[in-house]
Structure 1
Amino acid sequence: MPKITYVEHGGSEHVVEVSTGLTVMEGARDNNIPGIDADCGGACACSTCHVYVHRDWVEKLPAREPMEEDMLDFAYEPDPVRSRLTCQLKVTDALDGLVVQMPEKQI
């Protein structure tokens, strides 16, 4: 199972194994990771699962779809390069080692 590191805004790290086929958001939810609210349950209808992807991973992820781009407009302090919605990141073996950092807050 791929390991994903979730870094809270304050710096606390949570390294968890997430089953392939789930999303990075579901991995956070299922492991009680603080900082990812996921209010819409993964429907890409809010921005409460917003994270900053570690720079080493930006180019390794699939491109954002237009709906994700639109929802990121509502995120707290989105970064034009590093911001992603974790509900849109499907876990595959290729994501083993992914590092994401939560923003100060979700809105």
Structure 2
Amino acid sequence: MDVTIKITDREGNLHEVQAPTDMAMNLMELCKAYEIAPEGTIGVCGGMAMCASCQCYILNDVELPEKGDDEEAMLSEAFNVKPNSRLGCQIQITENLEGLEIELAPEY
């Protein structure tokens, strides 16, 4: 089953994408698959919660997994962090994400 996720890129363009729930993908990998951010500007650490290049802002009220310690630590050091910031690499694509709206944080 696919879920629909709306992603606003760093230029302010809205992308409505279909995300498969059966491929163990996360939001960062989804952005890479759809080339929503230029290569080399997202998922730099490979999804290890070590670089914050996949930081995004959660724009609506969708049930997400709790932040882990690694994600909390990385966000405490990242730039442009807001109360609704999450690391895309730490959010697995599941059926719960249907209708999720996110915006990619600025690169710097």
Shorter-normalised TM range: 0.7 to 0.9
> 1:89 offset after TM fit, Å?
0.1
Q: Secondary structure at the match of 1:78?
A: coil
The aligned counterpart of 1:24 is 27
> 1:10 offset after TM fit, Å?
3.6
The aligned counterpart of 1:62 is 65
Higher strand share: 2
TM-score, normalised via structure 1 length: 0.87
Q: In the aligned structure 2, how far is the partner of 1:33 from the partner of 1:67?
A: 25
Mean alpha-carbon deviation: is it higher for 12-21 or for 81-90?
12-21
The aligned counterpart of 2:91 is 89
Q: Percent identity?
A: 30
CA-based RMSD: 1.6
TM-score, normalised via structure 2 length: 0.86
The aligned counterpart of 1:2 is 3
> 1:11 offset after TM fit, Å?
2.2
Quick one: which amino acid aligns to residue 50 of structure 1?
Q
Q: Which runs of 5+ in 2 are unaligned?
A: none
> 1:105 offset after TM fit, Å?
2.1
Q: In the aligned structure 2, how far is the partner of 1:11 from the partner of 1:56?
A: 20
Q: Secondary structure at the match of 1:28?
A: helix
How many aligned positions are there?
Answer: 103
CA deviation profile, 1:32-60 (whole Å, cap 9, x unmatched) = 01276110111112110000101423xx1
